[in-house]
Homo-oligomer: A and B are copies of this chain.
């Protein structure tokens, strides 16, 4: 077999894997949007059968032979090199995983998830702790088995979501971010400015119609996607079928608006990957931190910006008749209000990353064993009090609030803050390249920023590593400064400092 033939055989195999992964994604989408209430048990069997079929394909020993031959390609193009790099990465990792570990993890995750849901409902951390300890032990085993020689075990897990990232390199950036956010929050708390609130009637159908309109305004292609309601909004799919979901709160239209813009951002990235990369490892996303930067860009740097507020207010006034907000400035303030709370997913831009940074520290301590699982509830409350100045009244508003750890997802949380850092750095660079960006936002003309992101980020897929891609787009490595500058400008304008 020539290297070319081997590369073709490898891509055909990967294509079959991707097609089944997309199918699993559709089953998950359907489960959250369309599936009837009693369909759950049957759906779990379908997912299990699909996982088994995928496992058979992923374990196919011919892949190693094909890859070894394809690695002999003379002078491959960058996208072909990326294909080979990604396949090598997956095969190496799969070969290192102890037999039985993926099955054990799948079983334990599923059990742990159910125990967590009940415990959160009961606000009872002690009921969840043993399950968390079991799932953590398996993740520790996974990290140990898959780490490169000398690699930090946390980094071995982080690498799944943010290839090449290292906790030791994130730490100083995150520390400076934390200090800057603390200072910002102090100033906001010291302000006497009162933030106006929405009032009026916000019927579900009007909210969904507005959501469709806004996604379209951003450039989301409805011929290659759709928008539905879900309890926890998400986006899913790739290529010519990238679906988004949003939620509706009848008392507060901003939930729907910003969930829509967030998921639209994710979807625009997927819709913008170069078609010639479709079905290939090089056609994936660069990293979760890059994916999240796209959602945050549209949510916070477009949707929650002062410049976009006049256009957004017009859209909302047409949708609902009235909003109870007298001006675009009032809308801008209302959608950026900083309020005390305990829940990460409901946090404003000024506090969101503090939620993440504490999770980053706590999960590293959990994984290393420095923090015994049984001490998590207290450690969480202590750290929350230090950062936010208030103590969660119970574990449901504390360490039981997120689903991630219940499934043993360690190393995922930091990608949220990376997303915010990246989004701010990209917005600053975009503003340098497009000096009349704010003017376009005021008109609701979102084509220029989309074209810029398509060119700088989307089309590249996973051809370049995330760091390289971002540095090329922003002109420098990403650090905390663009995000802090953005937050200081925004909240200074609103809170008068």
| A32 lies within 8 A of chain B by Cβ | no
Interface size class of A (residues with CB under 8 A): 35 or more
| A43 lies within 8 A of chain B by Cβ | yes
| A49 lies within 8 A of chain B by Cβ | yes
Q: What is the bound-complex CA distance between A16 and B19, given in angstroms?
A: 18
Copy count, this protein chain: 2
Q: A222–B49 contact, CB under 8 A?
A: no
Which chain B residue has the least Cβ–Cβ distance from A39?
B241
Which chain B residue has the least Cβ–Cβ distance from A56?
B56
Interface string of A23-61 (1 = CB under 8 A from B): 100110010001111110111011011101100100000
| A223 lies within 8 A of chain B by Cβ | yes
Q: B53–A20 contact, CB under 8 A?
A: yes
Q: B34–A23 contact, CB under 8 A?
A: no
Q: A23–B19 contact, CB under 8 A?
A: no
| A226 lies within 8 A of chain B by Cβ | yes
Picked from B35, B45, B224, B225, the residue with its CB within 8 Å of the CB of A15 is B45
Q: What is the bound-complex CA distance between A224 and B23, given in angstroms?
A: 22
Interface residues in A225-272 by Cβ distance below 8 A to B read 225-226, 239-241, 243
Q: B225–A36 contact, CB under 8 A?
A: yes
Q: A19–B41 contact, CB under 8 A?
A: no
Which chain B residue has the least Cβ–Cβ distance from A224?
B38
Interface residues in A453-491 by Cβ distance below 8 A to B read none
Picked from B19, B35, B56, B223, the residue with its CB within 8 Å of the CB of A37 is B223
B residues in contact with A46, CB < 8 Å: 19-20, 22-23, 26
Picked from B22, B39, B52, B240, the residue with its CB within 8 Å of the CB of A240 is B39
Given A19-B49, A23-B27, A30-B30, decide whether A38 and B240 contact each other with a Cβ distance below 8 A: yes
Q: A226–B34 contact, CB under 8 A?
A: yes
Q: What is the bound-complex CA distance between A276 and B53, given in angstroms?
A: 26
Q: What is the bound-complex CA distance between A39 and B37, given in angstroms?
A: 27
Q: A240–B26 contact, CB under 8 A?
A: no
Q: What is the bound-complex CA distance between A39 and B225, given in angstroms?
A: 8
Q: What is the bound-complex CA distance between A241 and B34, given in angstroms?
A: 11
Picked from B16, B22, B41, the residue with its CB within 8 Å of the CB of A42 is B22
B residues in contact with A241, CB < 8 Å: 35-36, 38-39, 42-43
Given A30-B26, A241-B35, A241-B42, decide whether A49 and B223 contact each other with a Cβ distance below 8 A: no
Picked from B35, B36, B224, the residue with its CB within 8 Å of the CB of A36 is B224
A15, A23, A48: most-surrounded residue (chain B CB, <10 A): A23
Q: B226–A42 contact, CB under 8 A?
A: no
Q: What is the bound-complex CA distance between A243 and B241, given in angstroms?
A: 22
Q: What is the bound-complex CA distance between A48 and B20, given in angstroms?
A: 9
Q: What is the bound-complex CA distance between A97 and B222, given in angstroms?
A: 44
Interface residues in A378-403 by Cβ distance below 8 A to B read none
Which chain B residue has the least Cβ–Cβ distance from A37?
B223
Q: B22–A23 contact, CB under 8 A?
A: no
B residues in contact with A279, CB < 8 Å: 45
Q: What is the bound-complex CA distance between A52 and B20, given in angstroms?
A: 10
Interface string of A434-469 (1 = CB under 8 A from B): 000000000000000000000000000000000000
Picked from B16, B52, B243, the residue with its CB within 8 Å of the CB of A52 is B16
B residues in contact with A48, CB < 8 Å: 19
A41, A45, A50: most-surrounded residue (chain B CB, <10 A): A45
Q: B20–A224 contact, CB under 8 A?
A: no
Which chain B residue has the least Cβ–Cβ distance from A45?
B19
CB of A225 to closest CB in B, whole Å: 5
Given A16-B49, A23-B27, decide whether A42 and B223 contact each other with a Cβ distance below 8 A: no
Which chain B residue has the least Cβ–Cβ distance from A225?
B36
CB of A280 to closest CB in B, whole Å: 13
Picked from B20, B22, B34, B38, the residue with its CB within 8 Å of the CB of A34 is B34
B residues in contact with A41, CB < 8 Å: 240
CB of A38 to closest CB in B, whole Å: 4
A/B interface sample: 12 pairs, CB < 8 A: A15-B49, A19-B49, A23-B46, A26-B30, A30-B30, A35-B241, A37-B223, A39-B240, A41-B240, A42-B239, A43-B241, A53-B53
Residue ranges of A at the interface with B (Cβ–Cβ < 8 Å): 15-16, 19-20, 22-23, 26-27, 30, 34-39, 41-43, 45-46, 48-50, 52-53, 56, 222-226, 239-241, 243, 279
**A-B residue pairs, 9 tightest by C-beta:** A19-B49, A39-B241, A53-B53, A38-B240, A38-B224, A19-B45, A19-B46, A16-B49, A37-B223
